[in-house]
Structures are given as structure tokens and as C-alpha cells.
Structure 1
Amino acid sequence: MNEDIKTNNIFGLGEKNDAYAQYFIGQSYLKMLVADPEVDVNVANVTFEPGCRNNWHIHHDGYQLLLVTGGEGWYQEEGKPAQLLKEGDVVTIHDGVKHWHGATKDSWFSHIAITKGSSEWLNKVTDEDYNKLSK
């Protein structure tokens, strides 16, 4: 279950991600690493409890990079199969690509998210679709 991510996360677990809770199923944690108004990207450590995932969303006028730092998770673009992610994986998400990401059912998951532009939050990843995923 990679529970050590809660206590041994290189950047710390962060706080409960209450500000974005409406865009997640399950509990996530957020630790902002770079949120400087003079820098045009946000850098955050995001940690997901087992089964937690964010809604489908799109980044506009920018991109998102995910650097997986621990555990196991999923990344899926609309119309494509979900990809299993593990520590050391990197995902490049281009402007306008509808996608979601989150933990597997049985593992904590942590990644650094480097995001430029704005996010448009969309529909939830249903339990039915999520429960079909297998490693």
C-alpha cells in the first residue's frame, strides 16, 4: 500500500487538499513548492490516498508535467487506455488534453505537478470506470 509515503515523502505530505476537494474523489494532500506570482508556473507535491483520483480536467494556455515520486497511480487521456504510473515515471500533458490522474485502489500515490495556465474541471471519474482498471 506504500503507506510510508505519508511519513517519508521527500517534500512532506502537505495539508488536506480541502480547497480542491470538490474536484477529487477521496482524500488528497497538497504541498505548494512554488507559488510565486512572478513565476508563471505552479509547482506542487500532490499525494493521493488509495482510491483517490481527480476529476477529468483540461489545462488551457499551458501544460502540466507530472513527476511521480512514490507509490502507484493511474493517468488517462480521453479516448486512450489508462497508464499505470510508478516512481520515476514522467507524464507530459499538453494544452487542451482532457485527462485525469490518481492513486490505484491499493496504493498511496505522490507526484510533483508542474502546471502552467488554467485548469477547467469537468466530470468525475465514475466508480464503475475506475473499478475496471487493473494492473
Structure 2
Amino acid sequence: MDISRRQFFFASAACACAVATGCVSNPAPTFDAGVDHTIPLPAALAEPGSQVKVKLPNVKEPVLVVRTKIGFNGTTGICSTSNRTELQYMPEEGVIKCLGCGSQFKLDGSVVRGPAKEPLKSYAIDLVGEKLKILG
């Protein structure tokens, strides 16, 4: 089969356009649906200053839930540094502390003192009757 130069260039251009179109098409956007879990209110959260670590389905790290005088706060229960140490709320200091590296965080997850540079993931927590709704 003989192909003319014109046919060759036309076929080559058509193939190149098809490949280029596939490369520039935008994929469908993806959205993080987040976490939406409702759990029974743990008895350990009866008093302000109390804390519990909650393991939620499909969430890699535990959530540290802290009861304050005005409600509940939630953050990732693991330090954002490479040591990945569990965190603990220090009610007398009003901070979440990593006992491994000494990093300190506010209840909203922001860094107070390093070596941590990254904030903790925070979760919105609402009391609905006798249940906690954890959103994040």
C-alpha cells in the first residue's frame, strides 16, 4: 500500500491531535467528603478538662476529643512531626502536648511551640443529646 506524503502528514496530525486532546482534558474534580461520625458521649468526658482518644472507622489516626468549659474540641491524636507520638491535653496549661518532642498545640490544632511546624487536623464536634457528632 502506497501512502502519499500528504496522507502521511494528515494521519500523523490526526493522531497527534487525539493524543493531545487526551492529555489536556480535565479530570472530574474530587472532593474530600470528610468525616461525619456520631458516637455515644463517653463517660470519661463528663467534666471540663477531660479527654478521650476515639478511633473512628475509615480514619487512619485517632481523634483526641477534649471537653472544655464551653463545649468540645477535636484534633488528630498524633503529633504532626515525624516521631508520630500520641498527644495529650494538659488542662492546667490549656494546650495539647506531644510528650515525645515537646511540641504544643492550641485546641484548634495550631502550633504554639515547636519543633512541630504543621498544625494538627481539627474536627468540629457537636453535642446532640447524649451523642457526639464528629465532623472533619
TM-score under structure 1 length normalisation: 0.25
Whose RCO is larger (CA < 8 A, sep 6+)?
A: 1
Q: Greater helix share, 1 or 2?
A: 2
Q: Greater strand share, 1 or 2?
A: 1
Q: Which protein is bigger by CA-based radius of gyration?
A: 2
TM-score under structure 2 length normalisation: 0.25
